[in-house]
């Protein structure tokens, strides 16, 4: 895969982003597809499988999240899972064709001693020849370096929305806190997975604001998950009017144009999407998905159904990295 640097910009303006959003749909998709083809194999889609390694009872108040202790969503809390079930799930994900295994914990921030068990998981999954990703909440500089030393590939930490809309969604951690963790992750040499959620009642200007923040980070995140809100009864955002599906496609396309060499993931919310809508997202430059029946606590399309969809579209999952293809620590 070539990653030309000439087109990589970190100085986007809000006006430019809004004018991309405002292009006629076909012009925007044409531009996004051209950028995609200049940077990636256009028929390849990366597949990541998620697993929740610590579920529920989270002290944060993210209004979209079923795992916050503040909302009654009927979710059973679960302590940190043992190593063996994690490795079993990772093996199954690998058999199914996933190349990355992402482990998520409902923490505000992990304690140093929480990382001991997590590091064993990272090492074990890596030995299976898969890439590893963690999302554990805020990290200190030392924690990020420790995870890098243990062989972690990616750290997921989302900005979620624009700085302006953010206070409507979360009060227990600031945008600045998120940027700080992203800095620690980047400085530790970990690959950054950072994106957001749309369909949370935000405006187009907010969607543009989110993409502006992501693209103007010191380095583009290597992985950019675009989630469509999964509405979970009991969360404050349940009942929010859904985003126009074509506006969702535009958001993917603008992300692709602004971050040409980043892998853009069509993330949560696919269960509610038609095959045609997902096809448009791939045309708009999405080249990754979450693969497997479950996200963290909510549903995702069946693996067999996704394989069939990709096959109908002439797309293929990128090859499983063999142990030799995963960089040594």
Q: Can 133 be counted among the known catalytic residues?
A: yes
Question: Does 268 interact with ligand SAM (rule: CB under 6 A)?
Answer: yes
Out of ligand SF4, ligand DTB, ligand SAM, none, what residue 160 binds, judged by CB under 5 to 8 A for its kind, is ligand SAM
Q: Which two tokens stand for residue 287?
A: 């080249």
C-alpha 329/C-alpha 35 separation (Å) is 32
Which residues are at the interface with ligand DTB (CB under 6 A)?
A: 50, 66, 104, 135, 156, 158, 195, 225, 227, 230, 267-268, 295-298
Closest contact distance (angstroms) between CB of 149 and ligand DTB is 23
Among 110, 137, 209, 285, binds ligand SF4 (CB under 6 A): 137
Residues 87-116 that bind ligand SF4 (CB under 6 A): 106, 108
CB atoms within 10 A of CB 42: 16
Question: Does 306 interact with ligand SF4 (rule: CB under 6 A)?
Answer: no
Q: Which two tokens stand for residue 233?
A: 């009864």
Question: Does 68 interact with ligand SF4 (rule: CB under 6 A)?
Answer: yes
Torsion, Cα of 215, 216, 219, 225 (10° steps):
-30
Question: Phi/psi zone of residue 189: left (φ > 0), alpha (ψ -120 to 50 degrees), beta?
Answer: left
Question: Does 295 interact with ligand SF4 (rule: CB under 6 A)?
Answer: no
Q: Which two tokens stand for residue 92?
A: 């199954």
- CA angle 140–145–146, rounded 5-degree value: 95
Is 147 in contact with 119 (CB distance < 8 Å)?
A: yes
Site size for ligand SF4 (CB under 6 A)? 9
Q: Can 281 be counted among the known catalytic residues?
A: no
Question: Does 181 interact with ligand SF4 (rule: CB under 6 A)?
Answer: no
Q: Look up tokens 């293809």; give the residue.
A: 325
| Segment near ligand SAM (CB under 6 A); pick from 124-132, 153-161, 255-263, 286-294 | 153-161
Beta bridge partner(s), residue 100: 48, 131
Annotated catalytic residues are: 58, 62, 65, 102, 133, 193, 265
């Amino acid at each position: 895969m070539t990653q030309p640097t000439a087109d990589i910009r970190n100085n986007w303006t809000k006006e430019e982003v809004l004018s991309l959003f405002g292009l006629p749909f076909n012009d925007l998709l044409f531009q996004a597809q051209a950028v995609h083809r200049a940077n990636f194999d256009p028929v390849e889609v990366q597949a990541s499988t998620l697993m929740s390694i610590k579920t529920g009872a989270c002290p944060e108040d993210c209004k979209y999240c079923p795992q916050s202790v503040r909302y009654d969503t009927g979710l059973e809390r679960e302590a940190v899972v043992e190593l063996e079930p994690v490795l079993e799930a990772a093996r199954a994900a690998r058999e199914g064709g996933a190349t990355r295994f992402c482990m998520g914990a409902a923490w505000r921030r992990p304690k140093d001693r929480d990382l001991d068990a997590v590091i064993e998981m990272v090492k074990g999954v890596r030995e299976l020849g898969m890439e590893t990703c963690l999302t554990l909440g805020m990290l200190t500089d030392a924690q990020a370096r420790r995870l890098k030393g243990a062989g972690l590939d990616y750290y997921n930490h989302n900005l979620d929305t624009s700085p302006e809309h953010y206070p409507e969604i979360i009060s227990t951690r600031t945008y600045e806190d998120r940027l700080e963790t992203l800095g620690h992750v980047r400085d530790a040499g970990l690959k950054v997975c950072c994106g957001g959620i749309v369909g949370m009642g935000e405006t187009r200007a907010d969607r543009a604001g989110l993409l502006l923040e992501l693209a103007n980070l010191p380095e583009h995140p290597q992985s950019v998950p675009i989630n469509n809100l999964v509405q979970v009864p009991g969360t404050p955002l349940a009942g929010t009017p859904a985003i126009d599906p074509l506006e969702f496609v535009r958001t993917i396309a603008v992300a692709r144009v602004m971050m040409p060499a980043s892998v853009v993931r069509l993330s949560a919310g696919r269960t509610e999407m038609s095959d045609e809508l997902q096809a448009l997202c791939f045309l708009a430059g999405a080249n990754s998905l979450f693969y497997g029946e479950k996200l963290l606590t909510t549903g995702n399309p069946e693996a067999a159904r996704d394989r069939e969809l990709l096959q109908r579209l002439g797309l293929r999952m990128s090859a499983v990295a063999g142990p030799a293809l995963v960089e040594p620590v």
